[in-house]
Amino acid sequence: MAVLAYMENWDGKFKKSSFELVSYANALAELLETNIIVLSLGPVSEDELSKLGNYGARKIITVPDVLFKTLDNQVFSKVISVVAVNVGAEVILFSHDNAGKALAPRVSVSLKAGLVSGATGLPLSVDPFTLRKKVFSGNSFARQIIKTDKKVLTLAKNSIEVKENRGSVEIEVFQPDVQAGDFKIHMEDVQKQTGKVILTDADIVVSGGRGMKSPDNWGPIEELADLLGAATACSRPVSDEGWRPHQEHTGQTGKIIAPNLYIAVGISGAIQHLAGVSSSKFIVAINTDKDAPVFEAADYGIVGDAMKILPELIQAVKEMNAS
Amino acid sequence: MKIIVCLGNVPDTTTKVKFVEDNTKFDAAGVQWVINPWDELALTRAMELKEDSGNSVDKVSVITVGGKNTEPTIRKALAIGADDAVRIDLNPEDSYVAAYQMAAYLKNEQELHIVFAGTESSDYNGAATGGMLAELLSVPSISSVSGFELEGDKVRISRDIDGGTEHLLVDIPMLAIVHKGIAKEPRIPAMRGIMMARKKPLNVVPPSDVEALTEIVGFELPGSKPPCKMIDVDNAKELIDLLQNEAKVL
Ligand SMILES: Cc1cc2nc3c(=O)[nH]c(=O)nc-3n(C[C@H](O)[C@H](O)[C@H](O)COP(=O)(O)OP(=O)(O)OC[C@H]3O[C@@H](n4cnc5c(N)ncnc54)[C@H](O)[C@@H]3O)c2cc1C
Ligand SMILES: Nc1ncnc2c1ncn2[C@@H]1O[C@H](COP(=O)(O)O)[C@@H](O)[C@H]1O
C-alpha cells in the first residue's frame, strides 16, 4: 500500500503547488497509515528532487528521460499507471492544474480507480472514502464518494498549508518500457511570457474590468502590480475587446485562480467572473457603484473612481515598501 | 473526415443554485438548460473547420449521454450546424459513466477521426470525461487546447501551459479537450438553422451496462462570509494598512 503523488515539473523546477501536493500526500498517508511515494517524469536535478524531502517525501521515483520533457497524456498516464501498480498504490494524487487534469482521468480509467477532481482537503471519511469538492463553478460544494479500492484525486490549489517535514530521501531511477515512437505529440515551439509574474502562480493579482474604460488606462494597474510583485488579470469583456491578452482573462471561461489577494478594479462581479476568483483568500473591490455585486464577494471595498484611487494606493505602497 | 463533438447539457450559468431532499439533489425546478460553454465553443470551431473548403471535414456530429430532457440542447446544436446527433439514453452518475457510454458507441464507428470535448462541465466540474473517453478509445488526447488547425491528415494545436503556449503537431485520430481561445464567440443559431434542425437525424440509442466509480452523496452551499469592510474613498491609503496589518497579505 502507498500514496503515490505525481509531481509535475516546469523546465526541471518545482513550484509551491508541488510542495502543497507533497504536504497533502504526507497528511493523507498518515491518515491511511501508509507511506508516500513521489513520481517525477522528465529531467529534474537531484538537488531539485531532494527539495521534496523537505515536505515529507521519503522515496522519489524519477524517470529522467528527455523524451518526457513534452507532456504526452497517453504515454505519461501509462507510465504513472505502471508505477502505481508496481508500488501497490492505493491512492494516486495530482495537482488540479493543466497537467493533473490531463492525466488523472486517463489514469483513473486504466486502473479502474474512481476519480474526484479538485478535492478541497483531506477526506471527510476514509470509509466510505469521501471528499469535498467545489461544484457549480464555485457556487457550492459536493461530497463525493469513491467506491473503488484504488482512488485517484486531483487537489485544488490552496487546499492545504505547505508543511515542512524534513528527512532523508531515497531517489530511485526508473526506466519504463517506452520508445520514442510511442510519443504521438510533437512539439514545434513554445512561446513563453518572460519577466512577468505568471497569473496562475501569483500570490497577489491586480485585475481590471470594463470600468477601466480604455486600454490606455492600464498604466496604474500595471504599476500597482509591479510594486506588489503581483500578476495582472482582467474580466472577459476586457480580453474580448482586445484591451488585454486573453491569457489574463479570469473566470468560469477563463483562468481559475486562488491567490492570497485579488484586487478587482472596475469589475462588476458577475457570477461567471467570481467563479474564477472566489477561492482567493482576500478580495478587494474598487468600484463606483456601491451596489455592484462584487462587494458581496469582497473582504475590503472602496466606492469610488479607480482613476483617482489607484494613484493613491500606488503612493501608499511606495511608502510601505520604503519603510 | 468527421468531427465528433461531445455535448454536455448544463444549467444556465446564471442559475441560482439550490438543493432539495435534504441537500442531496440539485433542484432543477425552473432551470434553463444550455450547451456546456466549452462544448458550444468546440462546436463553433468544428463548424468553422467544416466550412473552410481547404479542409476535408465533411461531417460534424454531436453526442450526448442524457435523458430526453437534453433534447432541446441537442436541437440547438443541430441548429448551430451539426449534421446529426446521437443521444445515449441515460443520466450518467459520474464522468466515467458518461465516457464509458460514448466509448461503447464510438467503438462501432467505422473510422474515428477527431473528437472534441470540453475542459469541464459547468455544473459538476468533473474535468474528466474527455480524458477518460480518450483512454477508453486508446487514442492520444491533448488538454488545454486553445487553437486547432487542420493540415492534411495532421492537426496543429496550441496548448496553453502556465505562462505560455506550446505549438504541437499531432496525428489523427485524436481527441482534443478544448477551452478558451478555441473559437472567438459561440455561434448563435439562425432562423434557417432552427428550421433545418427539426429534420436532422437525432438517433437515440440504449445505454451499455456499466457501474459508476463515484457517487455524489450531498451538497453544501458556501457559508455566509463576513460583510465587506468599506474604506472611505478619501482615505484609500487605509486599505494598504489593513492589507498589511489585518489581512497580513502584503
Ligand atoms: C457563459 C458565460 C461565461 C462567462 N464567463 C466569464 C468569465 O469567465 N469571466 C468574466 O469576467 N466574465 C464572464 N462572463 C461575462 C460576465 O457575465 C460579465 O458580463 C463580465 O464579467 C462583466 O465584466 P466587467 O465586470 O469588466 O464589466 P461590467 O459588468 O460592465 O462592469 C464594469 C464595472 O465597472 C464599474 N465602473 C465604471 N466606471 C468605473 C470607474 N471609473 N472606477 C471604478 N469602477 C468603475 C461599474 O460600476 C461596473 O460595476 C461570462 C458570461 C457568460 C454568459
Ligand atoms: N453527459 C455527457 N454527454 C456528452 N458529453 C459529455 C457529458 N458529460 C460531459 N461531457 C463532455 O465532457 C466534458 C467535460 O465534462 P466533465 O468531465 O463532466 O467536467 C464536457 O465539456 C463535454 O464535452
For residue range B168-218, list pLDDT tens digits in order. Answer: 999 999 999 999 899 989 999 999 999 999 999 999 999 999 999 999 999
Q: Is the CB of A287 under 6 A from ligand 1?
A: yes
Q: Do B39 and B6 contact (CB within 8 A), yes or no?
A: yes
B201 Cα: distance to centroid of ligand 2 (angstroms): 21
Residue B238 scores a pLDDT above 90:
yes
Judge if A236 and A262 occupy the same domain: yes
Judge if A176 and A289 occupy the same domain: no
Instruction: Measure CB to CB from residue B216 to each of A144, A154, A261 and give the nearest one.
Output: A144
Q: B219–A141: do the CB atoms touch at under 8 Å?
A: yes
**A8 Cβ under 8 Å from any chain B Cβ:** no
Give the CATH number for residue B75. Answer: 3.40.50.620
pLDDT level of residue B219 (50, 70, 90 thresholds): very high
- Alpha helices for chain A (secondary structure H): 16-32, 46-51, 73-86, 98-111, 219-228, 236-240, 271-274, 294-297, 306-322
Chain B segment 37-66 residues within 8 A of A by beta carbon are 37-38
**A292 Cβ under 8 Å from any chain B Cβ:** no
CA–CA separation, A56 and A49 (whole Å): 12
Q: A104–B131: do the CB atoms touch at under 8 Å?
A: yes
A235 Cα: distance to centroid of ligand 1 (angstroms): 6
Q: What's the domain range around A127?
A: 2-182
For residue range A135-168, list pLDDT tens digits in order. Answer: 997 779 999 999 999 999 999 988 899 999 999 9
Judge if A114 and A213 occupy the same domain: no
pLDDT level of residue B153 (50, 70, 90 thresholds): confident
Tell me what the mean pLDDT of segment B76-102 comes to: 98
pLDDT level of residue B233 (50, 70, 90 thresholds): very high
Quote the pLDDT of residue B192.
94
Judge if A177 and A306 occupy the same domain: no
CA–CA separation, A317 and A321 (whole Å): 6
Q: Is residue A207 part of a domain?
A: yes
Q: Is residue B229 part of a domain?
A: no
Q: How many domains does chain A have?
A: 2
For residue range A67-115, list pLDDT tens digits in order. Answer: 999 999 999 999 999 999 999 999 999 999 999 999 999 999 999 999 9
From B57's Cα to the closest Cα of chain A, the distance in A is: 22
CA–CA separation, B39 and B45 (whole Å): 10
Judge if A56 and A107 occupy the same domain: yes
For residue range B21-44, list pLDDT tens digits in order. Answer: 999 999 999 999 999 999 999 999
Residue of minimum CA distance from atom 7 in ligand 2: B8
Judge if A220 and A101 occupy the same domain: no
Quote the pLDDT of residue A32.
97
**B219, containing H or E segment:** strand B214-220
Quote the pLDDT of residue A158.
85
pLDDT level of residue A226 (50, 70, 90 thresholds): very high
B122 Cα: distance to centroid of ligand 2 (angstroms): 9
**A58 Cβ under 8 Å from any chain B Cβ:** no
Chain A segment 238-267 residues within 8 A of B by beta carbon are 240, 246-247, 249, 252-254, 260-261
**B73, containing H or E segment:** helix B71-80
Q: Is residue B248 part of a domain?
A: no
CA B76 from chain center: how many Å?
Answer: 15
Tell me what the mean pLDDT of segment A17-33 comes to: 96
Please identify which residue in the block is written with the cell numbers 481561445.
Answer: B181
Instruction: Measure CB to CB from residue B236 to each of A185, A192, A302 and give the nearest one.
Output: A302
Quote the pLDDT of residue B128.
98
Q: Is residue B235 part of a domain?
A: no
**A117 Cβ under 8 Å from any chain B Cβ:** yes
Residue B162 scores a pLDDT above 90:
no
**B140 Cβ under 8 Å from any chain A Cβ:** yes
CA–CA separation, A278 and A275 (whole Å): 6
Chain A segment 79-98 residues within 8 A of B by beta carbon are 96-98
Judge if A50 and A104 occupy the same domain: yes
Sequence-distant (≥ 6) Cβ neighbours of residue B83 within 8 angstroms: B59, B60, B61, B200
Give the CATH number for residue A240. Answer: 3.40.50.1220
Q: Is the CB of B90 under 6 A from ligand 2?
A: no
- Domain end among A151, A182, A213: A182
From B44's Cα to the closest Cα of chain A, the distance in A is: 15
Give the residue on A whose Cα is nearest the Cα of B183: A240
Judge if A158 and A294 occupy the same domain: no
For residue range B124-145, list pLDDT tens digits in order. Answer: 999 999 999 999 999 999 999 9
Give the residue on B whose Cα is nearest the Cα of A257: B162
Quote the pLDDT of residue A138.
76
The secondary structure of A226-281 as a DSSP string is HHHTPEEEE-HHHHHTTSS-GGGBBSTTSB----SEEEEES----HHHHTTTTTSS
Other CB atoms within 10 A of residue B151 CB? 10
Q: Among A287, A296, A309, say which to mutate for ligand 1: greatest number of ligand atoms within 8 Å of CB.
A: A287
Judge if A87 and A229 occupy the same domain: no
**B188 Cβ under 8 Å from any chain A Cβ:** no
Judge if A14 and A163 occupy the same domain: yes
Give the residue on B whose Cα is nearest the Cα of A287: B233
Q: Is residue B230 part of a domain?
A: no
Quote the pLDDT of residue B42.
98
pLDDT level of residue A194 (50, 70, 90 thresholds): confident
Judge if A127 and A227 occupy the same domain: no
Q: Is residue A190 part of a domain?
A: no
Task: At B113, give phi and psi (nearest 5°).
Answer: -110, -80
Q: A191–B165: do the CB atoms touch at under 8 Å?
A: yes
Residue B67 scores a pLDDT above 80:
yes
Per CB-CB distance under 8 Å, the chain B contacts of A238 are: none
For residue range A278-321, list pLDDT tens digits in order. Answer: 989 999 999 999 999 999 999 999 999 999 999 999 999 999 99
Instruction: Measure CB to CB from residue A101 to each of B143, B164, B249 and give the nearest one.
Output: B143
Question: In 3D, which of B89, B60, B34 has the Cα closest to residue B203?
Answer: B89
Give the CATH number for residue A103. Answer: 3.40.50.620
Quote the pLDDT of residue B110.
83
**A201-212 exposure pattern, b = at least 16 Cβ within 10 A, e = fewer:** bbbbbbbbbbbb
CA–CA separation, A152 and A81 (whole Å): 11
Quote the pLDDT of residue B14.
85
Q: Is residue A139 part of a domain?
A: yes
Quote the pLDDT of residue B111.
86
Compute the residue count for chain A.
Answer: 323
Tell me what the mean pLDDT of segment B235-244 comes to: 95
CA–CA separation, B157 and B182 (whole Å): 10
Compute the residue count for chain B.
Answer: 250
Q: Is residue A36 part of a domain?
A: yes
Quote the pLDDT of residue A217.
97
Instruction: Measure CB to CB from residue A188 to each of B94, B167, B221 and give the nearest one.
Output: B167
Q: What's the domain range around B146?
A: 2-219
CA–CA separation, B61 and B59 (whole Å): 6
Residue A246 scores a pLDDT above 90:
no
Residue B105 scores a pLDDT above 90:
yes
From B201's Cα to the closest Cα of chain A, the distance in A is: 31
Q: How many domains does chain B have?
A: 1
**A143 Cβ under 8 Å from any chain B Cβ:** yes
Quote the pLDDT of residue A14.
96
Q: B242–A300: do the CB atoms touch at under 8 Å?
A: yes
Quote the pLDDT of residue A50.
96
Quote the pLDDT of residue A238.
97
The strand pair at B164-171 and A114-119 is best described as unpaired
Q: Is residue A194 part of a domain?
A: no
Q: Which of B32, B34, B95, B143 should one mutate to test binding to chain A, selecting the residue with the greatest count of A CBs within 10 A?
A: B143
pLDDT mean across residues, chain A: 95
- Domain end among A182, A212, A232: A182
Residue A195 scores a pLDDT above 80:
no
Give me the half-sphere count of Cα atoms (radius 13 Å) on the Cβ side of residue A140.
22
Judge if A292 and A214 occupy the same domain: yes
Give me the torsion for CA of A143, A147, A151, A157, rounded to 10°: -10
Instruction: Measure CB to CB from residue B249 to each of A116, A136, A261 and give the nearest one.
Output: A261
Quote the pLDDT of residue A215.
97
CA–CA separation, A59 and A242 (whole Å): 48
Q: Is the CB of B82 under 6 A from ligand 2?
A: no
- Domain end among A152, A182, A212: A182
